[in-house]
Amino acid sequence: MPHLLITGANRGIGLEHVRVLLGRGWAVTACCRDPEGASELKALDPGDGRLRIKAYDAADAGAAAELAKEVREPIDILFANAGTMGPGDEGFGKTDAAGMAEAFAINTIAPLKLAEAFSDQVARSQMKVIALQSSRMGSIRDNTSGGYYGYRASKAGLNAVGKSLANDLKARGIIVMILHPGWVKTRMGGQGGLMTVHECVEGQLDLIARANPAMSGRFFHVSGEDLPW
């Protein structure tokens, strides 16, 4: 039975990944900060042991290593999905250093620590995929409007992490997918989004299903388009 481990699983895109893959017969380790309060996530439990909900705080640099003590099975898709907008749309001259540091901890460092903690389990699986939930706002060439210093920089940093992971894990057969989900109707993306959460997840899973070494370390729009760094 294929196995997904995903962070930020209690809402939005993460919750929908759990819903879809449980429906396809997968085992899912769903990670979030407050498992007890994750009512929508708990409601997805099919009652057959395929869903495990684990506590995980992406802001805690030691959280991935602690989680790895509890999850020892092979992981077909390790999905670093948890993220934050950080301090929001900071104009020049009004940046928040503490907020930016938190954005880097969650958006950049946490996915790296997840990969370090679980690379052995990913390498033992059939699919061998690490997926990183990035954003087009992390593209330097695509930035024509400025602002959002913490979010943009932390997602650009995540892209750099993903590229390095693709190189460092290549010999172990691991494929690293760096993904932009599109503008999705979520709490973070707002209701002006161009696609539903389900459409986003189906597109991302279609990309992941086609994962091969030539795709590792590249930055993909949910449509399959290569995005610029």
What is the CATH classification number for the domain harbouring 108? 3.40.50.720
User: Among residues 161, 193, 214, which one has the least CA distance to residue 13?
Assistant: 193
Q: What burial class does residue 158 get, using C-beta atoms within 10 Å of its C-beta: 0-12 exposed, 13-18 middle, 19+ buried?
A: buried
What strands lie across the sheet with 219-221, from one edge to the other? 51-55, 27-32, 3-7, 77-80, 129-133, 175-180, 219-221
CA quadruple 86, 91, 96, 100: dihedral, nearest 10:
40
- Evaluate whether residue 226 is within a structural domain: no
**pLDDT score at 33:** 96
Arithmetic mean of pLDDT, 93-104: 94
**pLDDT score at 183:** 78
**pLDDT score at 195:** 85
**pLDDT score at 191:** 60
- Evaluate whether residue 182 is within a structural domain: yes
The answer to whether the beta carbons of residues 159 and 138 sit under 8 Å apart is: yes
Arithmetic mean of pLDDT, 59-85: 97
DSSP H or E stretch at residue 52: strand 51-55
Res. 91: pLDDT tops 90: no
- Evaluate whether residue 14 is within a structural domain: yes
**pLDDT score at 84:** 95
Helix then strand then coil, in percent of the chain rounded to 5, is 40, 15, 40
**pLDDT score at 196:** 92
- Return mean pLDDT, the chain: 94
- Evaluate whether residue 228 is within a structural domain: no
How is residue 171 annotated by DSSP? G
How is residue 87 annotated by DSSP? T
Global pTM reads: 0.94
Among the ranges given (54-58, 78-82, 147-151, 166-170), the one the predictor scored with the smallest mean pLDDT? 147-151
Q: Which domain range does residue 157 map to?
A: 3-221
Counted domains in the chain: 1
Tokens in use for 107?
Answer: 């958006």
- Evaluate whether residue 229 is within a structural domain: no
In this structure, which amino acid lies at residue 204? Q
Chain centroid, CA 115 distance in Å:
11
Q: What is the share, in percent, of the chain residues with pLDDT greater than 70?
A: 95
- Evaluate whether residue 72 is within a structural domain: yes
- Evaluate whether residue 132 is within a structural domain: yes
- Evaluate whether residue 227 is within a structural domain: no
| pLDDT band with cut points at 50, 70 and 90 for residue 228 | very high
The CA distance from 173 to 46, in Å, is 32
